[in-house]
Amino acid sequence: MSETLPPFLAACRRLPVPHTPIWIMRQAGRYLPEYRALREKHDFLTLMRTPELAAEVTLQPIRRFALDAAILFADIMTPLDGLDLGLRFAPGPVIERPLRTAAAVEAFAAHRGAGGVESVDQAIRLVRERLPREVPLICFAGAPFTLFCYLVEGRASKHFPTARAFLYAEPAASALLLDVLADIAIAYLEAQARAGAQALMLFDSWAGLLARDEYARVCLPPMRKVLAAVGHLGLPRIYFPLDGAPLLADAATLPVEVLGVDWRTPLSRAREIVGPTLALQGNLDPMALFADDAELDRRIDRVLEEAGSGPAHIFNLGHGIEATTDPDKVARLVDRVHRATAVPTFAQSTV
């Protein structure tokens, strides 16, 4: 059966694969000249909100590289787009009207629908029509705690002091907001699934700001709610807690098929922590793409070695690709992962 699944979806299910599948976080983005050409004509929000443009950007890296998955061009904040928060990008997300009082949270809680649904619905349909069958489409959202950080702080910050102080100063309002954000994520991910998403990923970009007990208290309950609620959709669920080394054991208790691992935790160590029941996704340091070819090759091989020989590995960078990366290095990476992991018995059409 697994031969008929695209390699990426097979790996998510820990089924045998013809080669280790690879995709790259932020593969649709600024390191591609064809993306920069589009960005000269349209701002980021326009690209994200216009289905034809979002579809085009999503497909750009697929045309150029033999990637095993596409990921919808959108932002972790897209579920908050259109919810009257004054979301803009400069270039990181900015919330013009952050929620900093219990009253503001209660007013926001009156909303219960997700934003950004209409444009992603159409973009997903366009992408699915144009994608080859063996390249599944990943859709994603920000995890509730990460959206909470931006919503309270108002913009990216080294340590999100306002958002973290709010957790202590307003515990009840914080819990309410996290629960509302879970509902928003659920509505958004369900809409993506209806439109044709083939895997769902949650980015928890700021999980690493929390001590382990705070993570268990603050981050996990809304995350568990989201993942449980979308389970009936039958799509692989991927959770990526950035800077999550001390959190992996707890993260592994979530109902997910795949755990993303950042560049700081060797996959062999992650595997020891999370056990055999999940697929792991990662984790070449994105900066290794700036090394010379020989060093890059050694780094790629080390990630493969640390991942072990089982099927439950999806190759990726350990964080989003840097905008100044040479696309030729990406081509080298994809080719090397495929060649190094090709299983002869699967490659019947090429022998």
Binding footprint of a copy of itself on the chain (CB under 8 A): 156, 158-159, 161, 164-169, 208-214, 243, 245-246, 263-266, 285-288, 290-291, 295, 319, 322, 324
Known catalytic membership, residue 14: no
Known catalytic membership, residue 224: no
Known catalytic membership, residue 194: no
In angstroms, what is the minimal distance from the CB of 289 to a copy of itself? 8
User: Which residue in the list 14, 68, 100, 150 is annotated as catalytic?
Assistant: 150
DSSP per-residue letters across 303-349: HHHHH-SSS-EEEEESSPPPTT--HHHHHHHHHHHHHHH--GGG-GG
Sign of CA dihedral 176, 179, 183, 185: positive
In contact, 199 and 236? CB cutoff 8 Å = yes
| Of residues 11 and 304, the one with the C-beta less far from a copy of itself | 304
In angstroms, what is the minimal distance from the CB of 322 to a copy of itself? 5
| Dihedral over alpha carbons 163, 166, 172, 173 (to 10 degrees) | -60
Residue 190 pairs in a beta bridge with none
In angstroms, what is the minimal distance from the CB of 326 to a copy of itself? 11
Known catalytic membership, residue 75: yes
| Of residues 277 and 324, the one with the C-beta less far from a copy of itself | 324
Among 259, 257, 258, residue whose Cα is nearest residue 241: 259
| Of residues 131 and 177, the one with the C-beta less far from a copy of itself | 177
User: Which residue in the list 14, 49, 75, 204 is annotated as catalytic?
Assistant: 75
In angstroms, what is the minimal distance from the CB of 68 to a copy of itself? 25
User: Which residue in the list 14, 26, 49, 164 is annotated as catalytic?
Assistant: 26
Among 61, 275, 17, 71, residue whose Cα is nearest residue 9: 17
Phi, psi for residue 279 in degrees, rounded to 5: -80, 150
Residue 89 pairs in a beta bridge with 93
Known catalytic membership, residue 128: no
Residue 9 DSSP code: H
| Of residues 130 and 264, the one with the C-beta less far from a copy of itself | 264
In angstroms, what is the minimal distance from the CB of 86 to a copy of itself? 22
User: Rounded to whole angstroms, what are the CA distances from 261 to 149, 279, 345?
Assistant: 21, 10, 29
In angstroms, what is the minimal distance from the CB of 287 to a copy of itself? 4
Among 276, 278, 286, residue whose Cα is nearest residue 316: 286
| Of residues 68 and 262, the one with the C-beta less far from a copy of itself | 262
Catalytic residue annotation? 26, 30, 39, 75, 150
